[in-house]
Amino acid sequence: MINAFLRRQRATIGMASDGEVSVKAKIVLSSYTPDTSSMVAAICYAWLLENTRKREKSKIKDEVVVPVINMRRARMWEHKQAAWLFHHIGIDASALIFSDELDLEGLLMGKQLSLLIVGQDVLQTNGEVGSLCTILTDNYCEDAYDLLQTSNLRRLLLAGILLDTQNLSSLAKSSTNRDAEAVQLLLVGSSPDYRDFFFKQVMKEHGEEYFLESMRQHYGKLPVEVKQKPSTAPTSGPAAVQPTPALAPAPSKPTEKPSCTKNKFSVGRFFNFFS
């Protein structure tokens, strides 16, 4: 179900960028320094918004809610943890949208754009919970409980909470009772040891050839700058990046050199203009 949503939104925003359809685009952007839980939150929050919009007839009909990961697609090599999670759960990487594949300038100039930033405009923890995904789990319980029955959604949210709270560690200052309650809900039907097993799997440094081949297929070959720079924490992320002029197709096969084409209209400049 999530893959169908991602493919539909990618196709729609692509047609809007090309002028084939006229829609209002609500972009849900992961944080400026996207980590795994931020990427998960952007995807899951956008799906919740789209589902709520369809159920409420008072909402704008010609609107598309699109999750966008705030970095170049090729930089997923610096976020192998997130790449593995998506691969393991079965998220279609070719349906994801990265900020270098979206024409923010064209949509803005056409007055077709509104934007929400995870952790800034929406899903702020305010010290009440340790994870954005805990808030999202609560929201799904209230507004879209049927979608919460989707196994890959539950595991995405579970991964986000466990990463943010260090597997509900008592040493993690951010971990709260609400986080533990959300994890308990998401684990219904799982084996007693699944939480620890899943957390260890997400935290592993995955180097299996089948996984690396999948990364080459969906994110291009390992960029030179990543080869030269040793990987640090798996959840660290880059700053906001610049978009290219149009929604580029996701790579369907390994490419010799991932595209890094940029245009002068950066995401950072967009926020200054928008404010």
- pLDDT, one tens digit per residue, over 216-231 is 999 998 877 666 555 4
Which is higher by pLDDT, 222 or 145?
Answer: 145
Tell me, what's the pLDDT at 160? 97
Tell me, what's the pLDDT at 254? 42
Is the predicted pLDDT of residue 247 greater than 70, yes or no? no
Lowest mean pLDDT among 186-190, 232-236, 255-259: 255-259
pTM for the whole structure = 0.81
Mean predicted lDDT score pLDDT of the chain: 81
Q: How far apart are CA 228 and CA 224, in angstroms?
A: 6
Q: How far apart are CA 215 and CA 76, in angstroms?
A: 8
Q: Measuring CA to CA, how many Å separate 263 from each of 10, 27, 43, 243, 269?
A: 20, 19, 25, 6, 11
- pLDDT, one tens digit per residue, over 23-41 is 888 999 999 888 999 999 9
Residues in Cβ contact with 40 at an 8 Å cutoff, skipping those fewer than 6 apart: 82, 85, 133, 156, 157, 159, 160
Lowest mean pLDDT among 119-128, 163-172, 223-232, 233-242: 233-242
CB 46 within 8 A of CB 28: yes
Q: How many residues does the chain have?
A: 275
Model confidence at 243, pLDDT cuts 50, 70, 90, reads: very low
Please report, rounded to a whole number, the percentage of residues in the chain having pLDDT higher than 70.
79
Q: How far apart are CA 94 and CA 23, in angstroms?
A: 22
Tell me, what's the pLDDT at 270? 39
- pLDDT, one tens digit per residue, over 40-72 is 999 999 999 998 887 776 455 678 899 999 999
Lowest mean pLDDT among 87-101, 181-195, 229-243: 229-243
